[in-house]
Each structure stands twice: as C-alpha cells, then as structure tokens.
C-alpha cells in the first residue's frame, strides 16, 4: 500500500537532509545558539550530530520543529543556488 502524506512537510526528508539544510541556512554557531546542545557548539560535525539526534528524541524534535518553521526560507535559499 502506497501511503502519501501531502500535509507532512517531513515526509521523504531524512534527518541528514534536515541537518545539512539547517547548517547551510544558519551555520553551526547560530544553530548552536538556537538549539543548545553540545554537538552543535563544540567541534560540530554532521556525523556526530546525527548520532546524538538519533539517540535523543527531544533534541531531534527541536531540530525538526526548527526546520518546519523555516522550511519556506530554506527552500527559497536552495532555489537560488
């Protein structure tokens, strides 16, 4: 059965894609100011952040919420590239 989710902005988007888009839009420093987690502030990398976010539901939820709130702005930036 093929279930489509037209009203779910996270459908088909991986956590890695979300993180890469947020880093491209905000940068690590600002992202670390917005969501206070160590993996964004101290020697940040995509791989270490993904490991932490996959194990920590509250942090993943905050990242996903930030992405959804700013999806329109992020898409505009990607369209310009």
Q: Are 28 and 44 in contact (CB under 8 A)?
A: yes
pTM of the model: 0.86
- List, for residues 15-74, the tens digit of each pLDDT value: 999 999 999 999 999 999 999 999 999 999 999 999 999 999 999 999 999 999 999 999
Question: What's the domain count of the chain?
Answer: 1
Instruction: Please check whether residue 10 lies inside any domain of the structure.
Output: no
Instruction: Please check whether residue 56 lies inside any domain of the structure.
Output: yes
Instruction: Please check whether residue 2 lies inside any domain of the structure.
Output: no
| Pairwise CA distance, residues 74 & 41, whole Å | 21
Measured in degrees and rounded to the nearest 5, phi and psi for residue 35 equal -125, 105
């Amino acid at each position: 059965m093929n279930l489509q989710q037209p009203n779910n902005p996270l459908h088909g988007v991986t956590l890695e894609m979300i993180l890469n888009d947020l880093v491209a839009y905000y940068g690590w420093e600002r992202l670390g100011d917005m969501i206070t987690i160590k993996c964004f502030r101290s020697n940040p990398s995509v791989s270490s952040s993904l490991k932490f976010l996959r194990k920590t539901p509250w942090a993943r939820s905050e990242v996903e919420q930030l992405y959804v709130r700013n999806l329109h702005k992020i898409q505009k930036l990607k369209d310009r590239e």
